[in-house]
């Protein structure tokens, strides 16, 4: 698949700021984000925070170590991934180990599938065994991505908690 051949996951860099801020706005229309805080945070402070989150340093209560990466294709940032190193009760119910998003203008090119595949390799390198991925029941595109990456429905489904708007959240495990 084209997305798999060309996409790389990499850490955000100082020069990414304008693209990342535009991506944050573009994804807000879907209720997602590009990992930037809503309040203004200087870009270099943001990069520093990501490194500390990756190392698991200075984490706020309830947050676990996580690795934040951008998906790049031919020099274009097309999406992002957040890879949580461990689960909390909240992440177990909703969020899982890996979250991802692709910019609206870059969709339907296999990039989300490539981002999740690459993120699974990163998670393995971080020592995560089975990977949990969650998804709202009405997110057809993401359900397809998870299925293509080998996701198997959690046998304990249905979960007790529903997502926003009472749409159930589905949970999948990837070995
Ligand atoms: C979900 C999302 C990541 C998919 O990104 P993408 O790069 O378009 O995904 P892919 O190109 O890998 O598409 C995978 C498949 O999903 C299906 N799909 C994608 N968009 C679809 C849509 N709007 N309607 C129905 N099926 C869709 C298609 O079968 C597609 O493959 P195809 O183009 O070969 O037919 C993207 O829509 C997004 O960022 N949404 C907002 C954030 C989000 O929902 N993140 C996931 C949270 S669980």
pLDDT higher than threshold 80 for residue 160 = no
pLDDT band at residue 2 under the 50/70/90 scheme:
low
How far away, in angstroms, is 145 Cα from ligand 1 center? 7
Least confident of 21-25, 49-53, 135-139, 162-166: 162-166
User: Is the beta carbon of 78 within 6 A of some atom in ligand 1?
Assistant: no
Cα–ligand 1 centroid distance for 52 (angstroms): 30
| Higher-confidence position of 35 and 16 | 16
Question: Using CA positions, which residue lies closest to atom 32 of ligand 1?
Answer: 108
With a 6 Å cutoff on the Cβ, whether 111 touches ligand 1 is yes
Q: What is the pLDDT of residues 58-76, one digit of tens each?
A: 999 999 999 999 999 999 9
Mean pLDDT of 79-94: 95
> Does the structure show a pLDDT above 80 at 153?
yes
Q: Can you spell out the DSSP letters for 115-138? A: HHHHHHHHHHHTT--SEEEEEETT
In sequence order, the 6+-apart residues with CB closer than 8 A to the CB of 144 are none
Ligand 1 contact via 141 beta carbon (within 6 Å): yes
Q: Give yes or no for residue 139 CB within 6 A of ligand 1.
A: yes
Between 44 and 165, the more confident residue is 44
Write out the two tokens for 5. Answer: 């051949």
Mean local confidence (pLDDT), 89-94:
91
Confidence check: pLDDT of 3 > 80: no
Interval 22-48 mean pLDDT: 89
For the chain, the first-to-last Cα distance in angstroms comes to 21
Q: What's the predicted TM-score (pTM) here?
A: 0.94
């Amino acid at each position: 698949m084209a997305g798999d051949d060309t996409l790389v996951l990499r850490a955000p860099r100082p020069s990414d700021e304008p693209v990342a801020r535009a991506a944050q706005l573009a994804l807000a229309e879907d209720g997602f984000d590009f990992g930037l805080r809503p309040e203004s945070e200087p870009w270099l402070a943001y990069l520093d925070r990501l490194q500390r989150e990756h190392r698991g340093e200075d984490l706020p209560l309830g947050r676990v170590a996580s690795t934040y990466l951008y998906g790049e294709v031919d020099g274009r940032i097309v999406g992002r991934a957040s890879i949580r190193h461990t689960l909390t009760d909240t992440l177990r119910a909703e969020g899982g180990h890996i979250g991802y998003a692709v910019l609206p203008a870059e969709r339907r090119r296999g990039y989300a599938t490539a981002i999740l595949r690459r993120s699974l390799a990163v998670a393995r390198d971080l020592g995560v065994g089975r990977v949990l991925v969650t998804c709202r029941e009405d997110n057809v595109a993401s359900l397809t991505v998870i299925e293509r990456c080998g996701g198997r429905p959690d046998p304990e489904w249905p979960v007790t908690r529903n997502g926003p708007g009472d749409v159930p959240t589905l949970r999948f495990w990837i070995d």
